C-alpha cells in the first residue's frame, strides 16, 4: 500500500470505526512528513471519543496504526485529533513550558516534571527556542522525567 493509499485507508477505517460509536462523521486527512494526520470535527460524542486523559483517543490511534502495519502500508504512524483537543492541549503545554523556562532562567534551579512522550516533545521544542536552556529526558516508561535546566549547568 503506497503513501496515498495508506492515508485513504486510514481515513476510511477511522470513519468506519467511529460509526460503531454511532457517529457518522467525515474525517479529514493530510500527510505531514511520515505521519498520517486525521482530524475529526467536533460533535456530540467528543468526550466519549476522547475519553479520560485522552485514553480512548490514543486507543483509536493505536488501532488504526496497527491495522496499517498489518497491511504493510508505507505509512503507519497516525495522529488523530478530535475537535482540536490535541492542538489546544499542545498550546496549553507550550504556554506552561514557557513559564517553566522563565522560572529556570529567573531562579537558576532546574525543573523536573513527569509527563507523557507527546507532552515532553512539546516542551523540548519550546525549550529549543531558548539558547540558554537545555532539556533532557531520563528514566523508562511511565517513570520517564523531563528536566529543564540552564545550558551552562
Whether pLDDT at 93 is above 90: yes
Integer-rounded Cα radius of gyration of the chain: 18
CATH number of 3-83: 3.30.300.20
Looking at the chain, which residues constitute the CATH 3.30.1370.50 domain(s)?
Answer: 88-150
Looking at the chain, which residues constitute the CATH 3.30.300.20 domain(s)?
Answer: 3-83
The architecture CATH gives domain 88-150: 2-Layer Sandwich (3.30)
Regarding pTM above 0.85, the answer is no
Cβ atoms 14, 62 nearer than 8 A: no
For 23-60, write each residue's pLDDT tens digit: 788 888 888 888 899 988 887 888 888 988 888 888 99
- How far is residue 133's CA from residue 143's CA, in Å, rounded to a whole number? 23
Amino acid at each position: 500500500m503506497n503513501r496515498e493509499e495508506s492515508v485513504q485507508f486510514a481515513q476510511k477505517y477511522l470513519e468506519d470505526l467511529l460509526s460503531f460509536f454511532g457517529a457518522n462523521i467525515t474525517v479529514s486527512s493530510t500527510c505531514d512528513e511520515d505521519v498520517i494526520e486525521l482530524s475529526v470535527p467536533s460533535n456530540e460524542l467528543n468526550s466519549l471519543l476522547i475519553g479520560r486523559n485522552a485514553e480512548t483517543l490514543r486507543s483509536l490511534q493505536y488501532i488504526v496504526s496497527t491495522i496499517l502495519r498489518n497491511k504493510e502500508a508505507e505509512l503507519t504512524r497516525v495522529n488523530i485529533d478530535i475537535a482540536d483537543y490535541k492542538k489546544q492541549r499542545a498550546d496549553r503545554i507550550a504556554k506552561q513550558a514557557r513559564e517553566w523556562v522563565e522560572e529556570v532562567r529567573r531562579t537558576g534551579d532546574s525543573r523536573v516534571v513527569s509527563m507523557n512522550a507527546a507532552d515532553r516533545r512539546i516542551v523540548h521544542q519550546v525549550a529549543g527556542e531558548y539558547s540558554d536552556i537545555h532539556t533532557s529526558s531520563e528514566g523508562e516508561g511511565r517513570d520517564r522525567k523531563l528536566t529543564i535546566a540552564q545550558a551552562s549547568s
